[in-house]
Amino acid sequence: EQALSIELQSVTSNKEGTVMLLTDKVNGNCLCGACQVVAASVNMNVGACHCDMCRKWSGGPFLSVNCGSKVSFLSAGAISVFDSSEWAERGFCKQCGTHLYYRLKSNNHYYVPIGLFNTPKNVVFDHQIFIDSKPCYYAFENETKKLTGAEVFAQFADGSE
């Protein structure tokens, strides 16, 4: 199992005042080790997506971190890509099926499951999206920012993401 390589780079905030923990280079891998991911910078604020597609894909809420566009995958031939919508695609390991990323086509940002990395201590679970699609059979205890599907699409439409 590959160890996580992480160093705290900076703490910034977005225009809503949400604190974002950013890190330098982060490494992770899939369950079988065939796919390795290297992200140049990662926002360590974990988000949960409750949309229907993410729940079908992951079997529950999709817990991920925004790795931006500077992401590379070693053994890229071991990755299958599913074009899941007009705006995004999803990657997974051909050998073990591990979910590797959700990538927005418009800005090439990768949202990588936090579980691919050995979880560092500075991770914060701070937001949930498509909260209006969340089923009633689970709930997170953490206090987080919660956005409906309409609010998420509005954020992308006005260019704030």
pLDDT of residue 2: 33
Write down the pLDDT at residue 160. Answer: 60
For 100, phi then psi, to 5°, come to -100, -35
Q: What is the pLDDT of residues 7-45, one digit of tens each?
A: 333 344 444 444 455 666 888 999 999 999 999 988 889
Task: Output the pLDDT for position 92.
Answer: 95
Tokens of 82: 């599913």
Helix, strand, coil shares of the chain, percent, nearest 5, are 15, 40, 45
Residue whose tokens read 């809420």: 61
Contact, 149 vs 132, CB < 8 A? yes
pLDDT score of 14: 47
Whole-prediction pTM value?
0.80
Chain centroid to CA 34 = 20
Instruction: Report the C-alpha gap between 11 and 80 in whole angstroms.
Output: 34
Which residue(s) pair with 65 in the sheet? Answer: 112
Beta-carbon neighbour count of residue 102 at 10 Å?
22
Q: Which residues in the chain come in under a pLDDT of 50? A: 1-19
In the prediction, which pLDDT does 120 show? 67
Cα–Cα distance, 4 to 25 (Å, whole number): 9
Handedness of CA 104, 5, 49, 77 (dihedral sign): positive
CB-based contacts of 85, cutoff 8 Å, min separation 6: 53
